[in-house]
Amino acid sequence: MSTRDEAASRPRQPSKARATATWILLLILVGGAAWLSDARWGQITGIFTDGGRYFRLMTEGLLQNPFSDPWAGYWTRAFDAMIESVHMAWVGTVLGAVLSIPFGFLAARNISGAVTVQLTRGVLNLIRAVPELVFVIVLMLPIFGFGPVAGALALGVGAIGTLGKLTAEALEGVDPGPVEAAKASGSGRLAVLRWAYWTQVLPEVMAFWLYRFEINVRASAVLGIIGAGGIGQLLSQLFSKRAWDQIGITLLVIIIVTVIVDMVSGAIRHRIIGGGKAKKDRVRDDAVEVGL
């Protein structure tokens, strides 16, 4: 076959016109959004001037001796408020996890009927569409007033939508073998749900719960700004007084506690999902190293 015939038999290179047009359209949309945002782009240099000044003001509190007055009191106050936020997140997560279990079973297509699934998923979608701030302002604050109770309940209600959906999806992906075996042995419906379905998805669902706890820790700081207690309420008070030195301390406490919670929660999630496999692998590797 000649070189000309080989060139003629090669497939034609796909046109890049569609990809190019897509990128041009995206650039136009981004540029239009930036223009319609009415942002003061001339003030963008303030990031390097005013931003640096505020950063220095917040750093002043961090450079002081944390064991001397009044700085020790500032650190203690910030940690106490952050622990209150963690408590809010934990209570909200537990509440949302417990209530999401029945919603998950009702929303699973391989367990419930079509009508029940659609109604339940509609409720879960509605809960996910409403931010926790709305739950606090509309439902919780009029009943429980300002404080961590309203924040914890709002986080719990908000968690039902996400955890219920994830639980339903996990139930829909179970291995049908144990389910069929349980039914063939004459087990009742509740026993099948408990031992054939729930046992299979429990590790995965618990990992979802822990991940939601991490999200609630961050969300609790935002809810506190509107009076739901915790570190957010303290930050709101400090910003109103322009106490930048205390703001710096509070922000550092938020970062420290959040990182610790993420690390611990992540380790627990990996342990739950991996089970004892990781430990067995380490034992086997150690045995190989010592020549056993």
Q: What's the pLDDT tens digit per position in 171-228?
A: 999 999 889 898 888 888 899 999 889 989 998 999 999 999 999 998 888 888 877 7
CA 159, 90, 94, 265 torsion-angle sign: positive
Residue 226 to residue 223: CA distance in whole angstroms: 6
Phi, psi of 272 (to 5 degrees): -65, -45
Six token digits for residue 263: 């690390």
Residue 292 in this model has a pLDDT that exceeds 50:
no
Question: Hey, what domains does the chain have and what are their CATH numbers?
Answer: 77-271 (1.10.3720.10)
How many beta carbons lie within 10 A of that of residue 257, not counting itself?
19
Burial of 246 per CB tally in 10 Å (0-12, 13-18, 19+): buried
Residue 115 in this model has a pLDDT that exceeds 90:
yes
Residue 118 in this model has a pLDDT that exceeds 90:
yes
Residue 27 to residue 14: CA distance in whole angstroms: 23
How many residues in total does the chain contain?
Answer: 292
Read off the pLDDT of residues 245-289 as tens digits, 9 standing for 90 and up. Answer: 888 899 999 999 999 998 998 888 888 877 655 454 544 544 444
Which pLDDT does position 16 carry in this prediction?
A: 77
Cα angle vertex 200, ends 195, 201, to 5°?
120
How many beta carbons lie within 10 A of that of residue 22, not counting itself?
10
- Global confidence as pTM: 0.76
Which pLDDT does position 289 carry in this prediction?
A: 46
220, 230 contact by CB (below 8 A) = yes
The separation between CA 187 and the C-alpha centre of its own chain, rounded to angstroms, equals 37
Residue 275 to residue 118: CA distance in whole angstroms: 34
155, 216 contact by CB (below 8 A) = yes
How many beta carbons lie within 10 A of that of residue 168, not counting itself?
26
